[in-house]
Chain A
Amino acid sequence: DVKVTQSSRYLVKRTGEKVFLECVQDMDHENMFWYRQDPGLGLRLIYFSYDVKMKEKGDIPEGYSVSREKKERFSLILESASTNQTSMYLCASGGNEQFFGPGTRLTVL
């Protein structure tokens, strides 16, 4: 069974904290993606990576960075969390068919 896992299902952080969200896939996919999902807005692409150590900005990269040191792992970093980054964060891998992790619901207080 193919799998994308995310490090946390729920996370509560304080404003200004550095936050790491980790994602691991076992499908040997080259492409990996980080999205956030907010009510009424749909999924918005933050960053994606098409290869190890490669990254591309998506539609809303401000306030985020990413790291892809290994093919199976793609990390999203919030350098200094803010309340407007409270959201559901979804990691995916694949191409047109994207396989998603269960999501991390991040609350920034």
Chain B
Amino acid sequence: RKEVEQDPGPFNVPEGATVAFNCTYSNSASQSFFWYRQDCRKEPKLLMSVYSSGNEDGRFTAQLNRASQYISLLIRDSKLSDSATYLCVVNVDSNYQLIWGAGTKLIIKP
């Protein structure tokens, strides 16, 4: 079983719609959680951290469910520029060895 699992997609979503995807992690000792975004043929970039209380940044909302060991990302009013692969990332300890999911591909259609 992979340590961090994501639905690879692609999720094909019309512009303006709301889309959500989840990521599950296997290690209950995981401490920190993140969503990174990776555009096609580009490097990953931090999108947002995921806190126990949730985190909202504009149209993006991230939630953490420790009991069920998953994190989620919700994108409202999706834009064409949101098309990318979204990487779920978990940190188990404090030495910054991040564990990466394989990513969920999102395609926003006009």
Contacts and interface: CB of A to CB of B under 8 A. Distances in A.
Contacts of B43: 90, 100-103
B98 interface: yes
Interface stretch (B44-52, B62-70, B73-81): B44-52
B81 to A, nearest CB: 19
A95 B42 contact: no
A100 B97 contact: no
Interface of B: 4, 8, 32, 34, 42-46, 49, 87, 91, 95-98, 100-103
Tell me if B's interface is mostly helix, strand, loop or mixed. Answer: strand
Given A42-B4, A96-B91, 14 more contacts: A40-B8, A40-B102, A41-B102, A42-B87, A42-B101, A43-B98, A44-B100, A50-B95, A56-B95, A96-B98, A97-B46, A100-B43, A100-B44, A101-B43
Size category of the binding interface on chain A: 20 to 34
10 A-B pairs with the lowest CB-CB distances in the bound complex, closest first: A100-B43, A42-B102, A43-B100, A42-B100, A97-B46, A95-B96, A31-B96, A42-B101, A40-B102, A96-B32
